[in-house]
Structure 1
Amino acid sequence: MPNLKTTASISTKQLRTKAFKANTIIGWSFILLATLLICLFYFYPMVQAFIMSLQSGSGTNLTFIGFDNYIRLFKDPTFLTAVKNTVFYLIIQVPVMILLALVISVLLNEKTLKFKGFFRTAIFLPCVTSLVAYSVIFKYLFGLDGILNMMLLKSSIISEPIQWLTDPFWAKIAIVMAITWRWTGYNMIFYLSSLQNIDHSIYEAAKIDGASAFQQFFKITIPLLKPIILFTSITSTIGTLQLFDEVMNITNGGPGNATMTISQYIYNLSFKYTPDFGYAATVSYAIVIMIVFFSIIQFKVAGDRK
């Protein structure tokens, strides 16, 4: 006579195995389509772009040249200028925008503030405006006879109009101001939502201990928002390194190449100059390398050491 317990145990294992296989098939059926689409529209173009970066030629008439394009980067004065301009935007604009977003979010999180909904909406609205539309508006604002110069002249802050779009330094400042105006509200939303999850009793205890608003900001708010600050810093870094629309529509990279970014240089290599898609792909991978580099630095400086 067979052992009934052994038979029951085998039957239970078989049922579990069948159930596991069924669940596995069902799980893969849910993610298979998404996985295929990600591979098709993300990983495949990335691999093809890397292969193209190892080629050179006019238009689609490309020949394999190995890593010569990557060596060419370090000898290309236009590329080096674009990198210098992009890093300038990154170093100046990102910290200013992050700090502004933090301060604004703290102010809008105050319980005694009236019309909070209006202020939050007003500050966030620039994020949903068209990139091209707002860039064109800023181009007119920063014109020689634009509203900004008129206001500065009437208030006697300046004696003659500032050459916002034709002076290399002021053109960069104009781009920084435009980017800051558009993206500060975007980061503010992240900080504001995180602040609302912080127990208010922490701030009340700090007030009882005699902590000033300045101390509360640096000793409580910033440490508790550290993961969100890291996230917004990395996303802002990625966005700035890929900066294109504002420069293209406000200054068109001028005067000269004083405001040209890496992304605009890629566009010029592909569509404005004699088409060199291989070298353009190489410059694109330079952005990838820079993003990885700056992200690692930010993780090391502000990330959780645990």
Structure 2
Amino acid sequence: MRNVATEAIVTGGGKRRFRGSPRNPYQGRERPWLHTQRRWNLTGWAFLIPAALLIAVMSFIPMIQALFLSFQTGRGSRLSWADPLWLNFERLLSDEIFKLTVFNTFFYLVIQVPIMLVLAMILANLLNDPKLKFKAFWRTVIFLPCAVSLVSYSLVFRTMFATDGFVNDTLMALGLMDEPTNWLGEGWTARFVLIIGLLWRWTGYNMIFFLAALQNVDYSTIEAARVDGASSLKTFWFVTVPQLKPMIVLTAIMSINGTLQLFDESWSLTNGGPAYQSMSMSHYLYELSFLKNPNVGYGAAISYVILIMVAVLAFIQMKVGDKRD
């Protein structure tokens, strides 16, 4: 006996369908825009395109314009192509002030960044102790400096390190100095005041990153080290620190990039003084571009030198720090 539900008949036009099966009006048609995966892709692009356009308009296009600008000379808006084109970059080699600002910036980087990251790791490890009381309070207190207004803390530091300020009075009262030191009026002392300000402001910020990373550390490895008789210092150095390596690389890259582009503290805390002795590269770039007979072409050349330094150091850190198989 024939199964009517599955009997095939030939209809007009030579198309074949099965009797008893419902007619599908969309049979043979493709509707790719309704496909789930493609809808997700379109939704993703809908979110990405506006952000990508904003980044292109606000970042990449100005970077290209600055590159063209670095090959031009002139004052204000009266610019012309340099002869030769690399004239601004050639001028950098004989600019003693620029060389001084490069030295200052790398001095801050070499001294401040390692101290800051070590302090941040130590503080994060101490504040991650489950037996510590008032952990939220201590974390807030240490993190708070990076939320303080730059102008406010600069005024406080300038007052503290003034000739008749708190620091001189305290050191003289303890017998460590016979006479006041002009902290902001001498080159080396002004640099160290700026480093102290950077440490005070940004150590707590990096501490938060290490605290977050410590939440992913396998606590069983720490317990195993303690059972084996390892001291707290050895446990921290040989067990905890290796597991923090990805976060160490991240914070090091951010800190080095931030120091190479340092502007705020140089401008507000020491004003680059005395006589450019504490001025950073970005501060010098700002003065050339917007103050003292602006030369935007030469300033653009300096900005590209800073960009190259940041890119090279970030690349080296990524190669040294990334040891994944």
Q: Shorter-chain TM-score category?
A: over 0.9
Q: Which runs of 5+ in 1 are unaligned?
A: none
| Contact in 1 for aligned 2:101/2:281 (Cα 8 Å) | yes
Aligned to 2:138: 119
| Contact in 1 for aligned 2:163/2:181 (Cα 8 Å) | yes
C-alpha deviations, 1:83-103, integer Å up to 9, x for none? 010000000000000000001
Matches within 5 A, 1:185-224: 185-224=204-243
SS of the aligned residue for 1:14 comes to coil
User: Letter of the aligned partner of 2:160 in structure 1?
Assistant: L
User: Letter of the aligned partner of 1:293 in structure 2?
Assistant: V
Aligned to 1:56: 73
How far the C-alpha of 1:170 sits from its partner, in A, is 0.9
RMSD, aligned α-carbons: 2.0
SS of the aligned residue for 1:197 comes to coil
Higher relative contact order (Cα pairs below 8 Å, separated by 6+ residues) = 1
Segment of structure 1 superposing worse, 210-219 or 17-26:
17-26
| Distance in 1 separating the partners of 2:236 and 2:87 | 51
| Contact in 2 for aligned 1:135/1:245 (Cα 8 Å) | no
Aligned to 1:236: 255
Segment of structure 1 superposing worse, 294-303 or 93-102:
294-303
- 2:44 is the alignment partner of 1:27: yes
| Percent identity between the two aligned chains | 44
Matches within 5 A, 1:95-174: 95-174=114-193
| Distance in 2 separating the partners of 1:42 and 1:4 | 59
| Distance in 1 separating the partners of 2:194 and 2:278 | 8
TM-score, normalised via structure 1 length: 0.93
| Contact in 2 for aligned 1:93/1:180 (Cα 8 Å) | yes
TM-score, normalised via structure 2 length: 0.88
| Contact in 2 for aligned 1:78/1:257 (Cα 8 Å) | yes
Aligned to 1:281: 300
- 2:319 is the alignment partner of 1:303: no
Q: Which of the two has higher C-alpha Rg?
A: 2
**Which of the residues 84, 101, 111 maps onto 2:103?**
84
How far the C-alpha of 1:76 sits from its partner, in A, is 1.0
| Distance in 2 separating the partners of 1:127 and 1:213 | 29
| Equivalent residues, number | 303
How far the C-alpha of 1:195 sits from its partner, in A, is 0.8
How far the C-alpha of 1:305 sits from its partner, in A, is 4.7
C-alpha deviations, 1:194-223, integer Å up to 9, x for none? 112223222111100111111111111111
Matches within 5 A, 1:2-13: 2=15
Structure 1 stretches of 4+ with a deviation exceeding 4 A read 1-5, 10-13, 20-24
Q: Which runs of 5+ in 2 are unaligned?
A: 1-13, 19-23
| Distance in 2 separating the partners of 1:190 and 1:250 | 26
| Distance in 1 separating the partners of 2:58 and 2:215 | 37
